[in-house]
Amino acid sequence: MGYTNLSVTIKTYYKTMKDRVRTLLKETEKEYKELLVEEQALYDDIKNNYDDYLTVFKVNLKRYPDFVNNSYSNDDFLFVTRNIFMNRKGNYRISNRRYRLFSLAKQQKKLYLLKKDLDKYKAMSKITIDSYFKILKQYYYEVEKQLILKGYGYALEGDLGWLCINRCKVVQGQRKKLDFLATKRNKAALLAEGKRLWNKQEAEYAEKVGIDYKGVDYRKFINEEYCYEIPLINCRTLKGKKVKFKTLQDNRAIKGKTEEEILKECNNDVNKVCTLDLDIRKKLYMCLKLDNLLYLNFIRNEGQQSAHTPKANRKGGQ
């Protein structure tokens, strides 16, 4: 299974966003200007026939601010004109007038929505890369919070599939996972004692030539019954390839601090933990320590097996 390396840095996302917004802004401006001309002509025609609408349909258009101002504000005018159109009796001239009145109300609302889109795209076109980065981080903070505290999945775009946190039983004989923090502390303690640290290449060479190796193994492994994975599920675009996801967090918020100190700063509140600028796995394990029942969110199948377990060997569905 090979790894797929995709150029998906913040700069790439930012450029893609700016290019897309530039296109949307151009298309929306064109549509808005064309509709504005069409709507104004329709409004002038109906306004010139105001008396007909009052006499034939018994509707006083001057009662509705949307008609008077020729601008959408709420659905009142749209609702009235729709009812007038739906109650037509088959007379072509009358039906045409009804339809034109209803069309005016619809076009007013569409212009209103297009204007909102224009304002949005103009604002997005002015976003700096630093602001864009902050927006992305804030968005994914909330995504991670929902994944951890609610156990929800996160659907990616198109056929990329979706992500979730999955609780798995550790299989006997499975490759052990390194406890990075405990290993770092043990390594520092051994160096302070003047011990010679274990080195893989040196150990292999000593074994090969048959000499006694004195290096002390400083590694510490996680010895737990369960572990947690964040698999990419139902991906139809990268079949047979393993994908590595890069997070936006840099973990500098915990540099030099113990886990206990971080939890104390968060008042042992899982919601506050989820707002920290930390990797999702670090947030997950801290939240699991604070909430003894949180693990129930992540049981996805009866056997609590990995999402990568072949379906033929899996007990229960995800």
109's tokens? 């609302």
**Average pLDDT, integer, range 138-148:** 93
Highest-scoring range by mean pLDDT, 32-36, 54-58, 158-162, 262-266:
32-36
pLDDT higher than 60, residue 88? no
Q: What is the mean pLDDT of residues 126-140?
A: 92
Instruction: Using the predicted structure, report yes or no on whether residue 2 has a pLDDT greater than 50.
Output: no
Which of 217-221, 270-274, 308-312 has the largest mean confidence? 270-274
Instruction: Report in angstroms the alpha-carbon separations of 1 from 45, 159, 232, 238, 243.
Output: 68, 20, 15, 11, 10
Could you tell me the pLDDT band of residue 312, with boundaries at 50, 70 and 90? very low
Pairing of strands 177-178, 221-222: antiparallel
pLDDT tens for residues 162-215?
999 999 887 765 666 777 778 888 888 888 888 888 888 888 888 888 888 888
User: To which residue do tokens 């999945």 refer?
Assistant: 153
Residue with token string 């006083």: 60
pLDDT of 318 strictly over 50 = no
Could you give the residue ranges of the DSSP H alpha helices within 49-128? 50-56, 65-68, 76-86, 92-125
Sign of CA dihedral 295, 299, 303, 304: negative
Q: How confident is the model at residue 7 (pLDDT cuts 50, 70, 90)?
A: low
- Give the CA angle between residues 144, 147, 152 to the nearest 5°: 145
* Residue 99 contacts residue 85 (beta carbons within 8 Å): yes
pLDDT of residue 215: 83
Give kind and range of the element (H or E) at residue 178. strand 177-178
Average pLDDT, the chain: 84
67/248: higher pLDDT: 67
Q: How confident is the model at residue 34 (pLDDT cuts 50, 70, 90)?
A: very high
What is the per-residue pLDDT for 313? 46
Residues 6+ apart with CB under 8 A from 161: 155, 232, 233, 234, 235, 236
Angle (nearest 5°) at CA 87 between 86 and 91: 105
Q: How far apart are CA 250 and CA 41, in angstroms?
A: 57
Determine contact, residues 178/219, Cβ cutoff 8 Å.
yes
Q: How far apart are CA 135 and CA 299, in angstroms?
A: 31
Asked whether residue 263 carries a pLDDT value surpassing 60, the answer given is yes
SS3 75: coil
For residue 238, the SS3 value is coil
d(CA 171, CA 113): 55
Q: Which of 123-127, 216-220, 261-265, 278-282 has the highest mean pLDDT?
A: 123-127
Q: Hey, what are 102's tokens?
A: 């209803």
Beta pairing partners, 221: 178
Max mean pLDDT range (4-13, 81-90, 94-103): 94-103
For residues 298-302, give the mean pLDDT. 89
Q: What percent of the chain has pLDDT over 70?
A: 85
- Give residue 317's pLDDT: 43
Average pLDDT, integer, range 257-285: 90
